[in-house]
Chains A and B, each alone.
Chain A
Amino acid sequence: MSLLSVHDVKKLYGDSCGDCVSLTGDAAGTNQCPDCGTVVACADINFEVHEGEVLGIVGESGSGKSSLAEVIALDLEADGGKVRYHPYDGNLLDANYQERVELRNQHVGMVHQHIRDGLNLSFSGGGNVAEKLLSADWRRYEAIRDRVRDLFNQTEVPVERMDDAAETYSGGMQRRVQIAKALATEPELVILDEPTTGLDVSVQARVLDVFRRIQREQGVATIVVSHDLDVVRLLADRTLVMRHGRVIESGLTDRIMEDPHHKYTQTLINSVI
């Protein structure tokens, strides 16, 4: 069943002349409007995410993938389109401030690329996760401690470190605490933005394995945004390829990797070193 469906989502940076979308994209070879200079971060975006499914979004820097993820995570206002998300009645993009806060607290988990966007590093690791639970109306101290302990175990963060400041954690641990925080309130959807960027190769593998295990066990639907084809290959069931603010190809991940159709996707696959 479809958990999330996205129709014609659009996000522009700049004062649009009104023709920006038709003057940019794959055929035009740019995401910047030649008339007014507006950047079309994404346009004509259509896709669905089904329950328990992992959707990958790949593309180079500036392709629009992070803007798209932020729109869906309700961190960024869109300039048009419709998003249906099962826990919300109506167009998600029209949700008011209060509704957005509630959705973010309870129904969407986000793992940010930049640790500082996801964690308060001067708080303890456990405190960061507890904060998310508090915002979702968890009130009993012991229940919160138990839940944090349980999440630390699942994400393989040493429980004995839960009261230490997050800034004393290794990069891989910080990333896993973010995963614990994102999953804390059992959201229906989790969004991972460049989950392995800035981590050593050996640590990357562990983060991916921890996430994939939990994802399969809990069946949480996931959108994973990455410029790294390997990350998407290992996690995603289906993949969208973005370029110049548009989805230029989509399909089963192994089909995209082994039988790429679009010229750009073929170049991308052939460029893996």
Chain B
Amino acid sequence: MILEIDDLSKTFEMHVIDNKCVVGLDGVSFDVREGEFFAVVGESGSGKSSLLKSIYRSYQPSSGCIVYRSLDGPVDLATCSEQQVLKLRGNEIGYTSQFLDEIPRVPAVDVVARPLREGGMDPDAARDQATELLRALNLPEDLFDAFPATFSGGERQRVNLARAIAPQPRLLLLDEPTSALDPDTRAAAIDLLETYLDESTTMVGVFHNPEVIRDIADRVAMLENGHLERVVDVSDYRREALL
């Protein structure tokens, strides 16, 4: 197991709205096997993004454990130090959302090359690899040196996905990374996830498109109102989808 989540809960206290409490996750427990593609499904508001953000520590879990087996041994991501989180984000854990968050006026290819350079790759080699990734995602060549702020949603999403997978993280958290892509580009993105990343990358992903899950997931977790209903193998998920 690369990830063991035990009784994870996340509550938001909204001081701005009369201290109202909102439950994001309630007692969620499951394990993720090394190298698998673990998909999370559920209606909007069921806690899918909260789950990924809690693992990445963009949300501070309210209770429970998230034990990640890092290269240096097990770490509880729910409670470990911020420095440890930053180190793991730099070396092992990647995250990509639907939205690109970058300094303005950095060309798309440099946005993607940045994590590679920071990982110690020669700047020219990093740019070459970034170019290849953007090409594989069908981003028009004339956009490679343009600034993503002016891009369409689908174009930005491709830059975002390329940046997240570029350093080949051990654990990749994907939050609807293909939501704005047309079917052909989505197929190219899925193809790239499978070819560029080998079994040394474990993926935990939220996809709104059932076909994506049927094609590439190994197991599927079903969330409802912050509860984990069950975890099934993708063969069962496929069978149920047919019924």
Name A's B-contacting residues (CB within 8 A).
Answer: 50, 53, 202, 205-206, 208-209, 212, 216, 233-234, 237-238, 251-252, 254-255, 258-259, 261-263, 266-267, 270
Q: Is the CB of B60 within 8 A of A53?
A: no
Chain B contacts with A in 83-137, Cβ cutoff 8 A: 83, 85-86, 101, 103-106, 117-118
| Contact partners of B243 in chain A: CB under 8 A | none
B57/A267 in contact, CB under 8 A: no
* A258-B53, A267-B16 as given contacts; A234 in contact with B103, CB under 8 Å: yes
Residue of A nearest to B114 (CB): A216
CB-based contact A259/B12 at 8 Å: yes
In the bound complex, do residue B16 and residue A270 qualify as a contact, i.e. CB atoms below 8 Å apart?
A: yes
Does B16 contact A252, Cβ atoms closer than 8 Å? Answer: no
B103 adjacent to A208 (CB under 8 Å) = yes
A-B residue pairs in contact (CB < 8 Å), sample of 27: A53-B86, A205-B103, A205-B104, A206-B105, A209-B103, A209-B104, A209-B106, A234-B103, A237-B82, A238-B86, A251-B82, A252-B58, A252-B85, A255-B57, A255-B58, A258-B53, A258-B58, A259-B58, A259-B60, A261-B13, A261-B60, A262-B15, A263-B15, A266-B15, A266-B16, A267-B15, A270-B16
Would B59 and A252 count as touching, CB distance under 8 A? no
Q: Indicate if B14 sits at the interface (CB-CB under 8 A).
A: yes
CA distance A255 to B59 in the complex (A): 5
CB atoms of A252 and B15 under 8 A apart: no
| A270: nearest chain-B partner, CB-CB | B16
Is the beta-carbon distance between B86 and A252 smaller than 8 angstroms?
Answer: yes
Residues of A within 8 A of B83 (CB): 50, 53
Nearest B residue to A208 by beta-carbon distance? Answer: B103
In the complex the two chains form, what is the Cα distance from A205 to B60 in whole Å? 30
CB <8 Å contact, B105 and A205: yes
Instruction: Write the nearest CB–CB distance from B117 to chain A, whole angstroms.
Output: 8
What 5 pairs across the A-B complex have the smallest Cβ distances? A263-B15, A205-B104, A259-B59, A205-B105, A254-B58
Task: Kindly supply a per-residue 1/0 record for chain B positions 54-72, scoring 1 wherever the CB is within 8 Å of any chain A CB and 0 otherwise.
Answer: 0001111000000000000
A37 to chain B, nearest CB (A): 30
A209-B106, A234-B103, A263-B16 are known contacts; what are 18 more A-B pairs with Cβ within 8 Å? A202-B105, A205-B103, A205-B104, A206-B105, A209-B104, A212-B103, A216-B118, A238-B82, A251-B82, A252-B58, A255-B58, A258-B53, A259-B60, A261-B13, A261-B60, A262-B15, A266-B14, A270-B16
Inter-chain contacts of A261 with B (CB < 8 A): 13, 60
Question: Closest CB-CB distance, B79 to chain A, in whole Å?
Answer: 13
Complex Cα distance A266/B19, Å? 11
